[in-house]
Structure 1
Amino acid sequence: MSEMRANRVAEQIKKELGDIISKKIKDPRIGFVTVTDAEVTGDLQQATVYITVLGGEPELQDTLAGLGKARGFIRSEIGKRIRLRKTPEITFEIDEAVERGNRIESLLNNLNDTNNT
């Protein structure tokens, strides 16, 4: 039961964070961010949010720094939008699944090209 609730809260956080980051945060360090996933612990105390950022490593580091600085504001906004006794502590991490998927696709395309020649 609590795992199902944690999943619902994670989905709600993911949805709200996309809106908050795109509309409320004005930090110039934060680039084009996509919230790809969110995981919440069973006790709803911790939330890990996975993001992807358009651009290279410098944009990635700047965005993480900007989101880290705005974490308190983001948490208060989440608290206003989602009714929970205690708003989870938010941690941002880079989602490497998209990059890994692109690399696998590239390798498969290269393999396919070598087989066709």
Structure 2
Amino acid sequence: MAKVFSRSDRVAEQIQREMADLLQFEVKDPRVGMVTVTEVEVTGDMAHAKIYYTASAGTAELQKGLEKTAGFLRSQLAKRLLLRTVPQLHFVYDASIDRGMHIAKLIDDVLSSPSVDDEQGSK
């Protein structure tokens, strides 16, 4: 049986693809540098879209830049998508990659440090 995807899921995927392209090639704001769109959630009534993003640095200025360009991005999405109404864009910083890197570093530190059993066994 085929998987059932709701319309909001399909629209979210399309918005994610288009936003990645727009952020990379169309936005001229210097505050908006290398941004990766990790996920897009669209409400059931297609009125609002949360765009989760991650970036290497400058989250406060980047957030301001994204909020400033939201109108431009929404107008460009309207030209690219076949929707009656384009959702309002809300940008949310996705810290999951930062948390994952922090946890990986902690695991590496634990694995690289000599354990208590190794110290007692060598004596």
TM superposition shift of 1:89:
0.5
Aligned length: 113
Partner-residue secondary structure (3-state), 2:113: helix
Name the structure 1 match of 2:29. Answer: 27
**Does 2:6 match 1:7?**
no
Question: Does 2:87 match 1:88?
Answer: yes
Which runs of 5 or more structure 1 residues have no equivalent in the other structure? none
Q: What's the CA shift for 1:114?
A: 2.6
Counterparts of 2:33 and 2:86, CA distance in 1: 25
Aligned to 1:47: 49
Give the root-mean-square deviation of aligned CA atoms.
1.6
Identity rate, percent: 39
Following TM superposition, where does structure 1 have runs of at least 4 consecutive aligned residues deviating by more than 6 angstroms?
none
Q: CA deviation at 1:106?
A: 1.1
Where is the helix percentage greater, Structure 1 or Structure 2? 1
Distance 2:87 2:5 in 1: 15
Q: What is the TM-score normalised by the length of structure 2? A: 0.85
Hey, what's the Cα distance between the residues in 1 that align with 2:114 and 2:28? 49
SS at the partner of 1:49? strand
Q: Distance in 2 between matches of 1:109 and 1:115?
A: 12
User: By how many angstroms is 1:3 displaced?
Assistant: 6.2
SS at match of 1:85: coil
Alpha-carbon distance in structure 2 between the residues aligned to 1:111 and 1:40? 40
3-state DSSP of counterpart to 2:27:
coil
Structure 2: unaligned runs, 5 residues or longer? 119-123
**Structure 1 residue 115: deviation in Å?**
5.0
TM-score normalised to the size of structure 1?
A: 0.89
- Provide the C-alpha distance between the structure 1 equivalents of 2:103 and 2:89, rounded to a whole number of angstroms: 30
- Structure-2 separation of matches of 1:115 and 1:7: 48
